Amino acid sequence: MPVHPSASSAPALPYTYPMTNSSKVDLVGVGLNATDTIIPLSTYPARGSKVEYHTATVLPGGQVASTVVACQHWGMTTRYVGKLGDDTAATLHREAFARAGVETQIITVSGGASPQSLILVDGGGERTVLGRRDERLILQPSDLDRDWIVNARALHVDGHDTAAATLAARWAREAGIPVIADLDELYPGVEELIENIDYLIVSRDFPCRLMAESDLERALQQMQRRYNCALTAATLGEEGVLAWDGKQFHHAPAYAVRVVDTTGAGDIFHAGFIHGLLQGWPLDRQLDFACAAAALNCTAVGARGRIEKVDAIENLMTTGTRHHDASYISTPD
């Protein structure tokens, strides 16, 4: 019989499985978690140099995990599906999920090392991520229970565990559940995953790499047509986000804030988009809210540094200054 991962009497087995009975939630996330060690530096190190640092902060992070936590913070009911080791990093994640109120379906790998990220943050707040992951912690399709996925109003994936994410997305599609994806790498098999994505929101260079197309606007259009997504979009840092809905482009400029750390900006952007999607907002408002939420998160350290309340995000939308108020200009060839 499966044993709940939080049970103190769990036997020392290679895997400890959660219960399969799943409540209905607003959002289920399948994807990355990571323990982030954040090291602020005045400047990014030159090759071969020696650089002194003064602090190192250990915080929970990970693309899907952080998105789920943000959505829970805004009043949604959420579930996270993933794998952890049986180390202190796993304890950090479990405690963070419990504090946030996120339901978890986590598989524990005995002797496994939970994912770790070393994050160097320069004086301008831009981060560089060094990641390490135990291959035993890759979520496999056979690890999933369909009930974990289909008892939700939306599914969010990041594509790292590509085969598992593809199966989850297929189950969601079959159940009429919208699927949102946060992709930044051309993982093997990622195109099969994309075929099951409704809202594909990716990093700036992903569309051009995937489509072998130098112009971002054309690449977004080609992605939408090839994979039949409802929406394709690229996050652009200080330039905000550019989205194609199959008929027209939508550009939401980024908000100008005092940036401390850009870690997690994309994760919180996706959370903002999902929040707006499930609220039934118009697309432009979804994108604007997502930009504002991401900007505020960048004003503190960590992937979940400043997940603000909805009214504070909406206040920035009303009173904030934009980086670029002009219309988006296409990426040059």
- The per-residue pLDDT for range 204-252, each reduced to its tens digit, is 999 999 999 999 999 999 999 999 999 999 999 999 999 999 999 999 9
Q: Which two tokens stand for residue 24?
A: 């209905």
Classify the C-alpha dihedral 205-211-217-220 as positive or negative.
negative
Confidence (pLDDT) at 48:
87
Mean pLDDT to the nearest integer, 61-67: 95
pLDDT tens per residue across span 133-174: 888 999 999 999 999 999 999 999 998 999 999 999 999 999
326 pLDDT band (50/70/90 cuts)?
very low
Task: Check pLDDT > 90 for residue 103.
Answer: yes
Domain map (residue ranges) of the chain: 20-43+56-319
Place of tokens 């900006």: 265
DSSP letters for 13-77: -SEEPPPS----EEEEEES--EEEEEEE-SSPPPTT--------EEEEE-HHHHHHHHHHHTT--
What is the average per-residue pLDDT within 256-266? 93
Dihedral of the CA atoms 128, 78, 279, 203 (nearest 10)? 20
Task: Return the residue matching tokens 């309340």.
Answer: 309
Is the pLDDT confidence value at 312 over 90?
yes
Domain covering 20-43+56-319 in this structure, CATH number: 3.40.1190.20
Q: Which residue has the tokens 């978690």?
A: 33
Question: Does the structure show a pLDDT above 90 at 327?
Answer: no
Distance CA 274, CA 286 (A): 8
Residue 319 CB-density burial (10 A; 0-12 exposed, 13-18 middle, 19+ buried):
exposed
pLDDT value for 205:
95
Tell me the per-residue pLDDT of 251-260, one tens digit each, with 9 for 90 and over: 999 999 999 9
